[in-house]
Structure 1
């Protein structure tokens, strides 16, 4: 038993003098490596394990039928914002919509392959 202090669990070992003790931490290694490798696909991690391409990757079985919470949240479909039929801004430059995209296959006149688009919400000036 221990108590939590900030993000650390503290254990008073002195009260267990004279007793055999063993401290261990239980953690599923497959999910730990899934997070360490940037939430990589379990098939990919199994292939890395099979080909011994990652130093220190233990020989463990990776469960392919489960999805971690972060991966599930990242793959959920999000609803679009509803269209509005009025302009909610009252003056130019109050709200700007920006988008940076590229590289595009067709370069610009200046030879650039990236573009930065800015649209003013009030005037729709681009």
Structure 2
């Protein structure tokens, strides 16, 4: 029976055992067998998925010699709450030399390259 509970844990997208027990109790999933879902056991895939990576060590010196020589970029989304303009993604660009930061809000992921191209053209014109 233990193998059955892990099988359903995986089938339901690695949800916690409390939720599976509640679904079972309220008969909300068709075909879900009446088995005991054990708490306290850790799924290896869930454990790996929840691990966070270590941060990079902070640099005590600036390795670049001028602005825009090195850019750090990050992209995230979709966020739970869209911006006032209805955009759910954000593209962050940080200049290594000055630490100046630009945040570009996007409606869709596929706008990233276009926005970066616009950003480059804008910076080269300055």
Instruction: Give the alignment's TM-score, normalised by structure 1.
Output: 0.59
SS of aligned partner of 1:46: helix
Cα separation, 2, equivalents of 1:34 and 1:93: 48
**Structure 2: stretches of 5+ with no match in the other structure:** 102-126
Aligned residues: 97
Cα separation, 1, equivalents of 2:64 and 2:12: 44
- The structure carrying a bigger helix percent of its residues is 2
The aligned residue for residue 28 of structure 1 is: 3
User: 1:56 aligned to 2:31?
Assistant: yes
In structure 2, relative to structure 1, the CA distance for the partners of 1:96 and 1:77 (3 Å cut) is closer
Contact 2:71 2:93 in 1 (8 A): no
The aligned residue for residue 98 of structure 1 is: 74
> Which has the larger displacement, 88-97 or 28-37?
88-97
SS of aligned partner of 1:119: strand
Q: Give deviations 1:39-58, integer Å, cap 9, x for gaps.
A: 11101101101111111111
The aligned residue for residue 75 of structure 1 is: 50
User: 1:124 aligned to 2:108?
Assistant: no
In structure 2, relative to structure 1, the CA distance for the partners of 1:27 and 1:118 (3 Å cut) is same
Cα separation, 2, equivalents of 1:125 and 1:66: 46
Alignment of 1:110-121 (within 5 A): 111-112=85-86, 114=88, 115-121=90-96
> Higher Cα Rg: structure 1 or 2?
1
The aligned residue for residue 122 of structure 2 is: none
User: 1:44 aligned to 2:8?
Assistant: no
CA drift of 1:99 comes to: 4.1
Cα separation, 2, equivalents of 1:43 and 1:96: 41
